[in-house]
C-alpha cells in the first residue's frame, strides 16, 4: 500500500469532522476548477463536500440501525440467511424502481429545459 504525505493511506484516512491537525481526510483533495473547457460550472464535489456527505450518510445509517434495533431487537441477527437475502433483493428492487421513477422525472425536466432554451433562443 502506497503512502503519500498529501493523501495518507486507506488505513489513516478519516472524515473531516474527526481530523486532528495534520491528519488526512478520507477523500483525496480534488482540484475543482471554476469552469470546464466549455464554460460550464464544474460540479465535481470537493473533499469537504464529500466528507460532509459521508458524515451525514453514516449518521443517517446509525439512526436507521438504532430504529431497527428498537423495533426488532436482536431478532434481525437470528433470522435465517435466506430470509435476509430475500429482504436485500426486495430492497434492491425498490431502489431500482425508485431510480426509474427519478429517471422519468429527470427526463421530463430535461425536455422542459430543452423547450425553455429553444423558446429563449427565439426571443433573443
pLDDT per residue over 63-93, tens digit each?
A: 999 998 999 888 888 899 999 999 999 999 9
Residue bearing the bigger pLDDT, 88 or 36: 88
pLDDT at 105 over 90: yes
Compute the radius of gyration of the chain from its Cα atoms. Answer: 22
Q: How many CB atoms lie within 10 A of CB 27?
A: 19
- CA distances to 37, 46, 102, 120, 122 from 114, rounded to whole Å, are 22, 29, 18, 10, 13
Query: How does pLDDT run across 8-29, given as a tens digit for each residue?
Result: 444 444 444 555 555 555 554 4
Amino acid at each position: 500500500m502506497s503512502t503519500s504525505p498529501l493523501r495518507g493511506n486507506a488505513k489513516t484516512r478519516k472524515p473531516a469532522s474527526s481530523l486532528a491537525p495534520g491528519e488526512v481526510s478520507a477523500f483525496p483533495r480534488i482540484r475543482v476548477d471554476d469552469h470546464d473547457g466549455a464554460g460550464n460550472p464544474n460540479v465535481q464535489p470537493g473533499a469537504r463536500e464529500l466528507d460532509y456527505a459521508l458524515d451525514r450518510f453514516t449518521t443517517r445509517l446509525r439512526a436507521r440501525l438504532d430504529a431497527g434495533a428498537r423495533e426488532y431487537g436482536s431478532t434481525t441477527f437470528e433470522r435465517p440467511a435466506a430470509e435476509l437475502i430475500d429482504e436485500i433483493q426486495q430492497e434492491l428492487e425498490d431502489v431500482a424502481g425508485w431510480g426509474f421513477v427519478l429517471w422519468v422525472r429527470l427526463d421530463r425536466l430535461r425536455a422542459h429545459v430543452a423547450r425553455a432554451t429553444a423558446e429563449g433562443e427565439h426571443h433573443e
